[in-house]
Structure 1
Amino acid sequence: MRIRTFSKAHIRQEFQLRCQSLSVNDNMGFKQEFEELNDVGKELPTRAGELEVNKEKNRYPHILPYDHCRVRLSLQDAQPNGDYINANFVPGGSSERDFICTQGPLRSTMTDFWRMVWEQNVSIIVMVTALRHKDVVLCDQYWSKARGTVYHGPFQVNTVSCNQGPHVSITTINMKQRGYPTEKVVTHYYYPSWPDRGVPRDTSALCGLAEHVRQHIEATPRLGPAVVHCSAGVGRSGAFVTLLWLMQLCERGVSPDIRAAVEDLRMHRLWMVQNVEQYVLVHQCLLNWLSRGTVANLDSGPQSKGVPFNSGRSQVRIRGSSGQGNRARRSHQHQPPRAQPDQTLSNVQQLLDPRNLLRRILPASLQLPQTSSEPKPTKQNFENVPFKP
């Protein structure tokens, strides 16, 4: 199948018009689209998370992983339910398992978290939450911020370097398991400025983080999924994965469909993109990124506010902006079909029919040529990759 693609300038222009249309009448279009997604996926079973033996492993008792795509750990010490962790595989640009979205580890589940990282060959972890908000623990600290080693069960987690910026910390971790000679390198991105159930005041750092991670994924061999987590692993995690996924598609000249992406993600984990403010935020960040191309350096403060918006609960508005970034791509198009809001499907297999999945419009085997003359960053020097303002 030939896929029609567009230049970034064309995608930006069409997407900007769409955002303007959705924002009229106090963001009525955004609200309607988001409401249409309210019940997506909620009928899917969560039996493993409901088991009495697993309840203490859930940070929030009402946020449980769907059974059909939950991450399963290897069984240890013949424990029949030892494979449970509150985490789901979720789709990205090429497969059902491009990402793992999970809750922030509890003190009692840190070993399970690192077991998942080890067994799934994870090399990138993105943490989009602070450890605490006032007196509330949002995520227990499962790695060392300074150089040093911590132990979680059979796993040795050694922080070898940390690049501390004003908004994002990038830590390189060497990981070993007792009895194994091999060592795995994990890059940990820590973005604590995103408030729980809210949106950042300034989107430039978030856009810069997403672009940095996107380039890192492109430059890294696909050994395993990237882990994205916040506190519950649904709202902020879902928004970040949606943004990252559609940035990957736009880079290949494919027009984004945020509603379809969120609908797909919600078939894999509950409440992905938790509220309408976060839904609008994804549109804002994507428009910001399309308008400005590569954005703020992670090592510097925000240089641009991007597309203005009101971050209050009462109103979140996107306005159009002029921008740049018109690197040419091949000219073919495909607009993914949308499911009707009241459409009901009988089983998981039908719900996950590949013909209905947004990511299938760009198979992993289709690689469009690079048009930029800039060299692609390598894994070895990735922490120091600069970004154009």
Structure 2
Amino acid sequence: MRIRTYPKAHILQKFHTHCQSLAANGNAGYQREFEELSDTAKEFSCRAGELDANKDKNRYPFILPYDHCRVKLSLLESQPHSDYINASYVPGGCTEHDFICTQAPLPSTMADFWRMIWEQNVQVIVMVTALKERARCENRPVLCNQYWPPEKGTGCYGALQVTTVSRHHGPDCYITTIHLRQHNNHTGRQITHYYYPGWPDQGVPKDHTSLVNFTEHVRKQLDDTPRLGSTVVHCSAGIGRSGTFVAILWLMQLCARGIPPDVHLAVRDLRRHRVLMVQNVEQYILVHQCLLHWLGGKMERPRTQNAVVHFKTAQPQTHRQSRKDWKNRRRNSDHTHRPESTHSSVQVSHTPHPQRTAWQSLRESLHTFNPGKLLQRIIPPSSQLGSHTQHNTHV
């Protein structure tokens, strides 16, 4: 099969037009596409996370990894269930294990978290949450427990020593160099820890430019550094912001290689590896807006209904509610069930388009092969990002 590659300007023009159509009629297209994701992966089990022995290892009781793609730790002294951690392998274009999306470590799971980093040969950790919710009340909810020494120094987590070597403060993020080694072993590894605290829980950053610049910096780091293992990405639950970040970075990689982005297909693939990746419509729209910004066009970005979709519910769903709703959908659905409405105030039109657009034709062609390995099949890993001279590539 052949798939055509395009110049960046061409991708921008077509993608801008596509986003305009999604934003029409109060974001009806965005809402429709997001609702179509509601039944994704309902057939997958989460038995390991539901075991009584593992319940206390979950930050949120209803956010659990699928059994078929959960990260398994080595057993500690043959202890049953010591292989469990709330973490999932997710694709990023080359393999099914490009990323590990996980919950923020709890005090009781920090040793397991660092054991995962060691066993999976992780070199980069991306943290897209603040430690606490930025509320004015004193009892702010903890979104992530501090799991590395904040200043120069060493902390011990199980059999591993974690040393903060240096810390640099960028405009909107912190970049920390961490040295990781096992006790009684002088050979260690260097970990780069990216900390982006300005992204609110279940929301979107106020400044898209900031997130785009941060994601592009991480993307270049990953492209320039030979990777031994997966890249770890986490927020608090490891689903909404983590999934959004991975989707943006993954689709940036495709665009850089001349492949138009398909946000819907990418998010659907992510959701087959971890529950509720890209958790709400606001985040789904954010993926599109960040890609438009990154593609570099100076044309006006498509307008959206007050930048986000407003729901009828007065308060956003908690992670517990989201997971319960998701489990109820799985329980009450069969193979012919249509996606449920999320009770949005946006009215969605299901009138089919009079003719198939070039963008739709491309999206249909992308469905014929595994999107999780799209990047690998398009361009060999040894090829350079900037080369788009060959416009017909075998897949």
CA distance in 2, matches of 1:170, 1:306: 30
**Unpaired runs of 5+ in structure 1?**
294-304, 317-332, 340-353, 373-389
Is 2:197 aligned against 1:192? Answer: yes
Deviates more, 1:45-54 or 1:152-161: 152-161
Q: Which residue of 1 aligns with 2:339?
A: none
2:102 — aligned with what? 102
Q: Deviations over 1:41-87 (max 9, x none)?
A: 13310000000000000000000000000000011121110000000
Following TM superposition, by how much is the alpha carbon of 1:148 offset from its aligned partner in structure 2, in angstroms?
1.3
Match in the other structure for 1:21: 21
- Change in Cα spacing, 1:153 to 1:306, as seen in structure 2 (3 Å) is farther
Partner residue in 1 for 2:380: 365
TM-score by length of 2: 0.79
Residues 307/20 of structure 1: CA separation in 2 closer, same or farther (3 Å cut): closer
Where does structure 2 lack aligned partners over 5 or more consecutive residues?
A: 312-343, 345-360, 388-395
**Correspondence 1:229-308 to 2 at 5 A:** 229-291=234-296
Equivalences for 1:219-230 in 2 at 5 Å?
Answer: 219-230=224-235
CA distance in 1, matches of 2:192, 2:372: 28
Structure 1 residues 307-338: Cα deviation after superposition (integer angstroms, max 9, x where no partner)? 7764555299xxxxxxxxxxxxxxxx964547
Aligned counterparts of 2:385 and 2:296: Cα–Cα separation in 1: 19
The question of whether the paired residues in 1 share the 8 Å contact of 2:164 and 2:178 is answered with yes
1:137-164 deviation digits (Å, cap 9, x = unpaired): 0010001222111111111111111111
CA distance in 2 between partners of 1:55 and 1:155 (Å): 24
Shift in alpha-carbon separation, 1:361–1:116, aligned structure 2, 3 A: closer
Q: CA RMSD in A?
A: 2.3
For 1:306 and 1:177, the matched residues in 2 are separated by 50
Residue 198 of structure 1: how far off its partner (Å): 0.4
1:203 to 208, 212, 223: 208
Rounded to whole Å, the distance in 1 between the matches of 2:121 and 2:382 is: 23
In the alignment, is the contact (CA less than 8 A) between 2:96 and 2:372 conserved in 1? Answer: no
Return the letter of the residue paired with 2:284.
Y
Q: Partner of 1:231: helix, strand, or coil?
A: coil
Tell me the equivalent position of 1:351: none
TM-fit CA distance, 1:244: 0.3
| Residue 155 of structure 1, aligned match among 145, 150, 160 | 160
2:369 counterpart residue number: 355
Q: For residues 209-247 of structure 1, what are the alpha-carbon distances to aligned partners after superposition, in whole Å with 9 as ceiling and x for unaligned? A: 100010000011120110000000000000000000000
Task: Tell me the distance in 1 between the aligned counterparts of 2:12 and 2:42.
Answer: 33
Q: Deviations over 1:323-355 (max 9, x none)?
A: xxxxxxxxxx9645476xxxxxxxxxxxxxx93
Task: State the AA in 1 paired with 2:111.
Answer: T
What TM-score does the superposition give when structure 1 sets the normalisation length? 0.80
Q: 1:275 to 1:17 in 2, by over 3 A?
A: same
Give the residue type in structure 2 aligned to 1:113.
F
1:307, 1:22 → 2: CA distance?
9
What's 1:45 paired with?
Answer: 45
